[in-house]
Structure 1
């Protein structure tokens, strides 16, 4: 895979999606979602994220970095390539490892790190964000809260250098990455850490895996509007 499409229409991206062991995921939803339900909900977020990403024009493949065997099997079934979290040193080490895995196969690949908890993700909105990141260097998109990051992109030959976690918007800006300033891409910004985030994602319309899991959980408003993976 090269960095450009065969028709010359634009950059072809490999996305790296990190996913911690499901038993440890989404602890900030405690109190709104029962402990036994949270691993399944975290998996559903990732399934909808990966499915939407693979349906995005310009995305060639999605690499999921995880050591969770259940998640690995389910996300491989969606179409992701699974890479073991061999560093086991946290989020940014996992992302750097995933980027190296991509470029071991395709040295000139354009690589973007994408959060695994974007259950309302629209392929068309993701495509707009990736097109905005086609310039030289590194680019990032702030999350809906305005303090974190949901996507970090590095063009061919550029190191990803992820700095996710906490106030990562400021860290990515300080590292020299350019912020992507786009309106109308809420589904790419709306990650889910808290119950308020989940309600916001539900209002946007979530994918089928999340819609089903939320309906089963029952502790949060279930009015989820499923979004087909190919929806814009």
Structure 2
């Protein structure tokens, strides 16, 4: 019953690991829609709304953010996240493995889940549904809205996270033995933002206050359907 988001996995307290790239380099595919001057602020707003929603989820014990960006570190720490330096500096999967190891150094046997930082419409109740489903399996993941990537990868106590994010990560996580979760009505956990079309979809779901404010700084032309949206 874990796949349908039932209460079977209730009671597991998760530590989330959220990676945040240097803001100046983040979300480069949004450049056409937002421009380089606004894009870093959008990336930060996405991360802030993601972390704030995650910390409001009853299944989440704590959130560790792996980043070397000073501004992101300060802002996300102020929300209550633990900030970890990206010591491996070896890319996304190395950062996630480092974050999971740091969490388990502090709390051996922790249930750990990697969560994307670009989920600006994230709803705590929907994340709760996903994590309860994940609690039924040693290792599991949730595909993104496009059905190609991954927005969440979970590993129960004593299980290695084994992140394989990047191009075609859904296929790679399946091949690694992780169970694909399929709870209903969790669109906000699936809707990551890489393009203008993704951002429009997140706004339609109901993005967080910081993202809405950041989008308000975009030129009117950037919000037209002819400019990447």
TM-score (norm 1): 0.91
* 1:183 to partner: Cα distance: 1.8
> Where does residue 119 of structure 1 map in the other structure?
120
Give the number of the structure whose residues are more often helix, by fraction. 2
Give per-residue Cα distances to partners, 1:102-153, cap 9 Å, x unaligned: 0001111000000000000000000000000012310000000000000000
- Supply the distance in 1 between the matched residues of 2:137 and 2:205 (Cα, whole angstroms): 32
Asked if the contact 1:138–1:177 (Cα under 8 Å) also holds between the matched residues in 2, the reply is: yes
Structure-2 residue corresponding to 1:221 = 223
Aligned to 2:57: 56
Gaps of 5+ in 2: 1-8, 225-229
Runs of at least 4 residues off by over 6 Å? none
| Residue in 2 that maps onto 1:96 | 97
> Which consecutive unaligned segments of at least 5 residues does structure 1 have?
1-7, 223-232
Instruction: Give me the whole-angstrom Cα distance separating, in 1, the residues matched to 2:115 and 2:10.
Output: 22
Q: How many Å separate the matches in 1 of 2:203 and 2:167?
A: 23
CA distance in 1, matches of 2:76, 2:222: 25
> In 2, distance between residues paired with 1:85 and 1:221?
34
The 5 A counterparts of 1:23-38 are: 23-38=24-39
| CA distance in 2 between partners of 1:71 and 1:211 (Å) | 18
Match of 1:108 in 2: 109
- How far residue 29 of structure 1 moved from its aligned partner, in angstroms, is 0.6
Point out which structure has higher relative CO (alpha carbons under 8 A, 6+ apart): 2
User: Within 2, Cα distance between the matches of 1:144 and 1:9?
Assistant: 25
Give 1:147-186 correspondences, 5 Å limit.
147-186=148-187
Does the CA-based 8 Å contact 1:29-1:195 persist in structure 2?
Answer: yes
User: What is residue 71 of structure 1 aligned with on the other side?
Assistant: 72
Residues 195-219 of structure 1: CA deviation (Å, up to 9, x unaligned): 0000000000000110000001235
Taking a change above 3 Å as real, the CA distance of residues 182 and 30 of structure 1, as seen in their structure-2 partners, is: same
d(CA) in 2 for partners of 1:171 and 1:220? 35
In 2, are the aligned partners of 1:12 and 1:58 still within 8 Å (CA)?
yes
**Contact 1:118/1:188 (<8 A) preserved:** yes
Structure 1 residues 206 and 220 mapped into 2: Cα distance closer, same or farther (>3 Å)?
farther
User: Residues 214 and 220 of structure 1 are in contact (CA less than 8 Å); yes or no, is this contact kept in structure 2?
Assistant: no
Q: TM-score, normalized by length of structure 2?
A: 0.92
Question: 2: distance between equivalents of 1:116 and 1:18?
Answer: 6
